[in-house]
Amino acid sequence: MVTGRADARGPIVRHRVDVTRDGQTLARHGMSDLDIQPLSRHMMLERLEARTDLEEAELRGLRVAPNDSRIAHLVARSYLAERGLVSLSPAEREELRVHYQRRALDDRIRNFGNMPVTLAEFCELTELLSRRDGASVTRAEVDACIAALPTKVSPFPTAKGFTGAAPTGLERLFMRGVIPIGDWFHTRAPGALSPSEAITCLRDGVRTRRFLEAVCNDVETLAKRREHAIEVLDAGCGGVPIMGIYAALVDTRVRVTCLELNPVSARMARAVVAAAGLQDRIDVICADAITYRARGPVDLLVSETMHSGLIAEPIVAILDNLAPQVARDGLVLPRAVDVKASLVGLDHLHGLIAYKGDLRTVRPYVDTEWQQVARYVPGAGLAKIAFALDTIDASPGAHMVYVTSTVDLGSTRLDVHDSLITAPQAVLEPDSEVSAQQPWIVDVAPTRRPTVMVQYGPGGDLVGAGRIGPPTGTARAPSARGL
């Protein structure tokens, strides 16, 4: 069963949720009073499952027992109810709704700002954000947030080195006027990121900064060409449509259409736009950008729905559909994406020990000479990415094949290692799951120098993308060639 009780530990009350069966404690999960909110329930269940390794059938055998902390008890019941393990009465649902509404401001601080360490700091932040709620966002505020974003990523980044552990000023600025409703943050839709995943992209600081700088430059360029409204299309806007919002703040003639496939993110984006005071100039539509037809010519098309090496996300399909709908003298961001590849010896892979320890969270700093293997220009089409790497001059030993990207943003660019979407990605073993990430190892010996061949589709993954070709025939400098 799941029980919860309150313990007094300093100025902030803490709750404890215990998972027990037949009188034996299976897991114990502590949380602060500020954690009792809609966004934490999924996290708690995930942690409980991870710690106890319980199967779904076993979870269904758990029961919730009353305790002296009513809210902790209801929260415990609610995250079990989400999995269909128990049922909440209408009265319990109403009590939770009122509680979440009352604690909405606390939720925003907890989830989009750093956790206050004292009650006094918490009260100070609450008062500050309460005064700011309801006011329109200004360009000066956004510019200040952009100026605070990093200009480069330090070497040897972990996954958090790109996305950051702490929320950015942009998150705090836009989310403080929005009340998270129910389980917005962790709701996925086929082909789309969850709201939390999309908003976390804002923490990819260099990427966000460069894209916003490019948006500003392109809007100002178009403002010199246009006497009428400037039509901007933001494809794949996520829960915080920052590209469309910033475009609207740069010039008052801008009218924005934001496309979002996840209906939960779309609803959240509308709330963010309204809280920013821009609902009369920004329209958020829940639609598939791969098939969407604009109402008229688009002046500026923006989409950052991409990943390194053009894997995982449908940027090619989206831009192939939308780029032809851009006006003849209109602009598209990105201008182009160059895919690069390299054969990297394990002895030259910085951070390899940490990398081998946890392939899912630690990303090695790959210092190598990159060869361009493909180039995608929006609207030009790209059926596959296929190339071969010679090994004639590669050092003997074990090697891995990496792909990455550079992104042309017109007035600026993203280079290798600047962002999560330009971080090197390893080709994986054929029988590997993407989550497990077992790298494909190529052995090179003085008497065995094979040709390394890689092929995958845009938006796909790198599992089983590599194969060994015929031996390299003649000695020459390492090169990459298309297939």
Domain layout of the chain by residue ranges: 2-107, 139-305, 336-482
- Tokens representing residue 147 in the block: 């100026």
Residue range 240-257: mean pLDDT, rounded: 97
Q: Is 466 helix (H, G, I), strand (E, B) or coil?
A: strand
> Residue 432: what pLDDT?
60
* pLDDT > 70 fraction of the chain, expressed in percent and rounded: 61
The arithmetic mean of pLDDT across residues 180-184, rounded, is 42
Between CA 69 and CA 71 the distance in angstroms is 6
Burial of 14 from C-beta contacts in 10 A (0-12 / 13-18 / 19+): middle
Q: What is the pLDDT of residue 409?
A: 98
Strands (E), 364-479: 371-376, 385-389, 397-408, 413-414, 425-426, 441-444, 450-456, 466-471
pLDDT at 194: 79
Cβ distance 239 to 284 under 8 Å?
no
pLDDT band at 88 (very low <50, low <70, confident <90, very high): confident
Place of tokens 């891995």: 400
Architecture of domain 139-305: 3-Layer(aba) Sandwich (3.40)
How far apart are the C-alpha atoms of 154 and 449, rounded to whole Å?
35
Residue closest to 287 by CA, chosen among 265, 272, 271, 268: 265
pLDDT at residue number 449: 92
Closest CA to 235 of 316, 150, 353: 316
CB 76, CB 17: distance < 8 Å = yes
What does DSSP assign to residue 155?
A: S
Strand, helix or coil for residue 69:
coil
**Alpha carbon distance 301, 243 (integer Å):** 10
Residue 265: the pLDDT is 87
Rg of the chain on CA atoms, in Å = 25
Q: 443, 433 in Cβ contact below 8 A?
A: no
pLDDT mean over 227-234: 96
Flag whether the pTM goes above 0.85. no
Query: What is the residue whose two structure tokens read 């989409």?
Result: 303
Residue 321 has pLDDT above 90, yes or no: yes
Q: What is the pLDDT of residue 76?
A: 61
Q: Cβ–Cβ contacts within 10 Å for residue 72, how many? A: 23
Beta strand 450-456 with 385-389 is antiparallel
- For residue 321, the cross-strand partners are none
